[in-house]
Copies of this chain bind each other. A is one copy, B any other.
Amino acid sequence: MNGALAAFAEHGFNGASMRDIAKRADTSLSNVYNYFPSKEDLLVAVLKDTNGELLRRTNRTVAAAKPNPTDRLRAAVRAYVGFVVDAQPASIVALSELRYLGGERRKAVVAARDETEALFLRLVEEGVESGEFTTTRPHDATRAVLLLCATVANWFRPDGELSREAVAELQADFALALVGARNN
């Protein structure tokens, strides 16, 4: 499945060929079909795996953070951005290739993605209730926060000006600005 991930990240779902995927996995074309009945099923597996890992990581980090909304949202953004930086190809695929899935396959992946969105939304709403966040549009602010986290995959360069940690801090600051945090 790692070979597929790399191929999808490099060439996109439609640009990646099953032959290339097989080669990257050091196996034969028809062996790939032994494990995955179609190319779409391969993409589903990749996307589910990525979304699951992101959710687990974010959940764990938030649970370990201080209980106030500001610190919790900060922790969540740090976790998300940390994941994106650590698993950049997977994050690129998750961000850009979902659109090529339709029907039931799409639904399954969207459900997984929505769990993470729900987690972030809860954090934002907690902050609004406690008065730490002043946004009047928690849903829209949450979407903006998630987009900023996810799109790091499209521009981050490991050898760039910003370190892993610096990017996470930067995006956390942006997130708090978006929800209208009073003290950050």
Contact = CB atoms under 8 A, between A and B. Distances in A.
Contact of A12 (B12, B143, B155, B180): B12
A14 interface: yes
A168 to B, nearest CB: 13
Copies of this polypeptide in the complex: 2
Contact of A170 (B12, B13, B137, B174): B137
A87 interface: no
Contacts of A33: none
A15 B39 CA distance: 14
A147 B151 contact: yes
A176 to B, nearest CB: 9
Contact of A151 (B15, B141, B151): B151
B14 A170 contact: no
Chain A contact residues, majority secondary structure:
helix
Nearest to A12: B14
A148 B155 contact: no
Interface string A27-69: 0000000000000000000000000000000000000000000
Contacts of A140: 170, 174
Nearest to A97: B12
Contacts of A155: 143
A177 interface: yes
12 contacts: A11-B14, A12-B100, A13-B15, A14-B15, A15-B100, A96-B96, A140-B174, A143-B155, A144-B148, A147-B147, A177-B178, A177-B180
4 closest cross-chain pairs (CB), A and B: A14-B14, A14-B15, A177-B177, A147-B151
